[in-house]
Amino acid sequence: MSGLSDILVQLGVGIVPLGVAYLAFRSATDASRKSQQSALLQVEHQAEVERSKVDAEAFIRAKTIYEDALAQMEKQMSRMQGQASQLGAELVTEQSSSVAMRDQIRRLQAQIRALERTVLVLRSQLVDAGLSPAPPSDLTGPHRLGP
């Protein structure tokens, strides 16, 4: 029996290093897995930081573009308001000129009516004096009626 116990002892002594080796292997793989996870988390964190930087830069560019567009729109609005004011002033001037021209036309029409009445009076005076008024086609002067 001593042969069997010797084999059992040797087997026990041989299993202990195998168990230790297995535990060392497990610890090493766990450590390796944890370091890979840690490295992966660091890479993900770094990628997130880079995405944040890119997003921040894109936001700054978009903000700059927006502010430039807004400034241009404000300048254009200011120019348009100036042009509207100028057009308003021109409209007032044109309306004043239009009113003045209408008044002048009314005065000229009144003068024409007065001249037409004068022509009628003069025509009747010419006829009463025995002279013929000028025919519509001949405006050179009075013509005598008869011989």
Instruction: Give residue-wise pLDDT tens across range 25-62.
Output: 888 888 888 888 888 889 898 989 888 888 899 999 99
pTM over 0.75: no
How confident is residue 143, by pLDDT bands cut at 50, 70 and 90?
low
DSSP string, the chain: -HHHHHHHHHHHHHHHHHHHHHHHHHHHHHHHHHHHHHHHHHHHHHHHHHHHHHHHHHHHHHHHHHHHHHHHHHHHHHHHHHHHHHHHHHHHHHHHHHHHHHHHHHHHHHHHHHHHHHHHHHHHHHHHTTEEPPPTT--S--EES--
Which pLDDT score is estimated for 57? 92
